[in-house]
Homo-oligomer: A and B are copies of this chain.
Amino acid sequence: MYETPQPSGRDPFLRRIETVALFRLTDAERAALATIPMQVAQFEPNQDIIREGDRPSRSFALLSGIACTYKSTRAGKRQVMSYHVPGDVPDFQSLFLEVLDINIATVSACRLGFVQHDAVRAMLRAHPRLNEVFWRATLIDAAMVREWMLNTGRREAYARMAHLFCELVTRLGAVGLAPDLTCDLPMTQPELADALGITSVHVNRTVRDLRAAGLIALRGRRLTVNDWAGLQEAAEFDPTYLHLRDAETR
């Protein structure tokens, strides 16, 4: 199941950390990130990575693919809290909270880089400035959840879906995965429904409406934004909450 860790495999992770940092990393800091022991594993689509109630002893970086954080009601209804793109460290929180309150699952096939908590703690002790960087990354994740909550609470399905597409294209674009406003969208419509807080039937109708408005094209598993300004307008999308550098915001 586990490959030999290849330095090159963790590039998305390194790039992400450099993006989030407000300062230039020193060679020593970069080396610490590049050499921290990491077990790389390949996961199938729609596989749980960690589950609510787990007490993990390691965190992981998403090296390729798309994953999601979700919670479920007793009745089995899922709510996706956020999607994760390559470079993200979705369960950094497990470093400080023993019991997980969320599930994290793959959406597409994913490559994951697992790192022991002890190793992370040692790295943060040795390089205190990296502490701040991980703080920022975690707080940005929290900001995305809040923006997403404004969506589900106060916008209707049409704007909500437009907003999700805006965010995904922007975030994937920031890691080079959305050239020409086109990206893979590995989730099915029932899965999208779990993110949007609506039913798959209504997802379908809403996709149809966005298509009819000329804002997007969605065929197979590929999403293309045909009218970026229009989509942003429909979504009231303002990427400030993503805390990206200007260059990375379209």
Contacts and interface: CB of A to CB of B under 8 A. Distances in A.
A149 B96 contact: no
A241 B152 CA distance: 21
A7 interface: no
Nearest to A53: B240
A149 B81 contact: yes
Contacts of A79: 149-150, 153-154
A101 B240 contact: yes
A16 interface: no
Given A149-B152, A154-B197, A74 B236 contact: yes
Interface stretch (A109-117, A129-137, A173-181, A210-218): A129-137
A138 B140 CA distance: 12
Contacts of A152: 149, 152-153, 197
Nearest to A243: B97
A202 interface: no
A60 interface: no
Nearest to A135: B96
Given A79-B154, A99-B240, A145 B149 contact: yes
Contact of A150 (B71, B97, B141): B71
A102 interface: yes
Interface centre among A74, A79, A141 (most CB of B within 10 A): A79
Given A73-B155, A95-B135, A148-B149, 9 more contacts: A71-B150, A79-B149, A93-B142, A97-B143, A101-B240, A138-B139, A149-B149, A149-B152, A153-B197
Interface of A: 69, 71-74, 77-79, 81, 93, 95-97, 99, 101-102, 131-132, 135-136, 138-143, 145-150, 152-155, 197, 236, 240-241, 243
